[in-house]
Amino acid sequence: MEFPYWNDLQFTSNENKIESTYMYLFRGVYRVNIALEKIPGIEMDNSLKQRLLAEAKFLRAFYYFHLRVYFNKPPLVLKVISSYSESKLPNATAAEI
């Protein structure tokens, strides 16, 4: 099945695929932020630690690339959100993303 709105990047609020894509991308950002918080405290070879941190930062940038393309100005989340009040973030500018 083809979704022509993906090709044109024009969506309506009734598209379930859009919501699931948004959630999938932010779930990835969340997991990367956990890794970026936890990896520095793990005792391991320093070169491996630096590689894992660099890979995590790449993945976060990859997720944000897609969030920027699909949703224009998503909130910029650079740490693990632990409370509801922290989850109320403003939309980021293109330069911030």
For the stretch 10-56, pLDDT in tens is 666 666 777 888 899 999 999 999 999 999 999 999 999 999 999 99
Q: Taking a C-beta distance cutoff of 8 angstroms, is the pair 64, 78 a contact?
A: no
Boundaries of every domain in the chain: 15-87
Residues 45-72: what's their mean pLDDT?
95
pTM (predicted TM-score) = 0.79
Question: Over 60: is that where the pLDDT of 2 sits?
Answer: no
| Euclidean distance between CA atoms 57 and 26, whole angstroms | 14
Question: Over 50: is that where the pLDDT of 63 sits?
Answer: yes
Which is it for the CA torsion 85, 15, 69, 80, positive or negative? positive
pLDDT bracket for residue 90 (50, 70, 90): confident
